[in-house]
Amino acid sequence: MRHKQTSIQPSRSCSDPEEPDRETHLTRCTNSGMRCFSNAALLAKTVEMLDKIPMEDRDTKGDLYEYMLGKIATAGQNGQFRTPRHLIQLMVELAQPTPDEVICDPAAGTCGFLVAAGEYLRQHHPALFHNEKRRKHFHTRMFHGYDFDPTMLRIGSMNMTLHGVENPDISYRDSLAQEHTDDAGTYSLVLANPPFAGSLDYEATAKDLQQIVKTKKTELLFLALFLRLLKTGGRAAVIVPDGVLFGSSKAHRRMLVEDHKLDAVVKLPSGAFRPYAGVSTAILVFTKTGVGGTGGAKRKGREETPQAWRVTAEEVKARGYNLDIKNPHTVADDHGDPAELLESLNAAEAETERLRDQLKAILAEALAR
């Protein structure tokens, strides 16, 4: 078994010939983990079972791995939990990534968002792989994922590998605690579902984030982080708890509406993340502009429906920047006047009593014969 442990060490060679000494993402993320089976019979059985599955297709390997991830049914100790695949796909489709993107998930976990973005590009922009520069960008420069859980880093790195991304940047980082001088304003797209694990001490929070929003709440700190990481014109599609949409603290909402371009708020159904968590959530879609733009010209492909409606920036400001806006197309249930309902109930009970007495009389007459 010692031979197996050493022979499956990930290669340190890099797919980028210009940086031959650069470690691969698997090397970085698996150096601290054990890569061996303690039971030889279990290893043999595992290999035998996997050998029966056709692995030539990249999609098969990826789907198999995602099936295994789907069996993770508990939240992490730091508030992480797996985002359902259909929600990830929705957010990627809202963002519509292009071949020239530089995409970041600062709370990457299993790298579900990065994987889905890669699959979207394969489906909608297959020509990028016929261009040497864009193909190299896709495999080595497009995807960036950060997490401070070594186990999640290993899972996420393997997920990216099995979905055909050769050397993404999947690295250890405490996104809320470390300064972001090196990559501030770097990314054109942020996709994330950050953990909502309460609050942090000011001393433990990156100072550059505190300059954007003065708070201890992790959900607001992550919102500041997204803005810090995005370049001007960059977009974000991120999941936030409902409390971000309303409440007494509205500086972050004013900033999104007035200083940048809030494109959409998508309320998610209650229980969307069960069994991992029961918190009510929403998707925020916004663009970093620095000059506002919320509620501007109608965007192509955006149509009003019974489930989607347009709100102007003036309306949001008039509501005190409360983003928890009820659907205007929903007709409120009208149960009628309470006094009339009570009178109708009393009449129904009286009629029931009369019919009961009538039935007793008929039965008594029948028994007396």
Same domain, 218 and 151: yes
Percent over 90 (pLDDT), the chain: 31
Residue 8 lies in a domain: no
Same domain, 360 and 312: no
The segment with the largest mean pLDDT, out of 67-81, 127-141, 174-188, 322-336, is 127-141
What is the residue whose two structure tokens read 């991992």? 276
Same domain, 264 and 343: no
Same domain, 262 and 205: yes
Same domain, 74 and 210: yes
Provide the CATH number for the domain around residue 182: 3.40.50.150
- Report which of residues 288 and 24 the model is more confident about: 288
Strand-pairing partners, residue 282, are: 240, 267
Residue 145 pLDDT greater than 90, yes or no = yes
Contact (CB, 8 A) for 139 and 167: yes
Residue 219 lies in a domain: yes
- pLDDT band of 299, cuts 50, 70, 90: low
Residue 15 lies in a domain: no
Triad 130, 133, 135: Cα angle to 5°: 50
Residue 285 has phi, psi (to 5 degrees) of -120, 120
Residue 367 lies in a domain: yes
Per-residue confidence (pLDDT) for residue 171, from 0 to 100 = 92
| C-alpha span between 306 and 166 (Å, rounded) | 43
Which amino acid, residue 96? Answer: Q
Residue 189 pLDDT greater than 70, yes or no = yes
Lookup: tokens for 148: 């401070």
Same domain, 130 and 163: yes
Same domain, 244 and 368: no
Same domain, 354 and 293: no
Among the residue ranges 29-33, 222-226, 305-309, the one predicted with the least confidence is 29-33
Model pLDDT for residues 197-211, shown as the tens digit of each residue: 666 666 777 878 878
Model pLDDT for residues 304-358, shown as the tens digit of each residue: 787 887 888 888 888 888 888 887 777 666 667 777 888 888 899 989 999 998 8
Residue 67 lies in a domain: yes
Contact (CB, 8 A) for 15 and 167: yes
Same domain, 353 and 310: no
- pLDDT band of 288, cuts 50, 70, 90: very high
Range of the domain at 110: 57-318
Residue 11 pLDDT greater than 60, yes or no = no
Residue 257 lies in a domain: yes
DSSP letters for 78-114? TS--PPPHHHHHHHHHHH---TT--EEETT-TTTHHH
Same domain, 244 and 363: no
Residue 44 lies in a domain: no
Residue 12 lies in a domain: no
Per-residue confidence (pLDDT) for residue 120, from 0 to 100 = 96
The segment with the largest mean pLDDT, out of 23-27, 29-33, 80-84, 320-324, is 320-324
Among the residue ranges 16-30, 92-106, 111-125, 354-368, the one predicted with the least confidence is 16-30
Number of domains in the chain: 2
Same domain, 306 and 349: no
Same domain, 214 and 240: yes
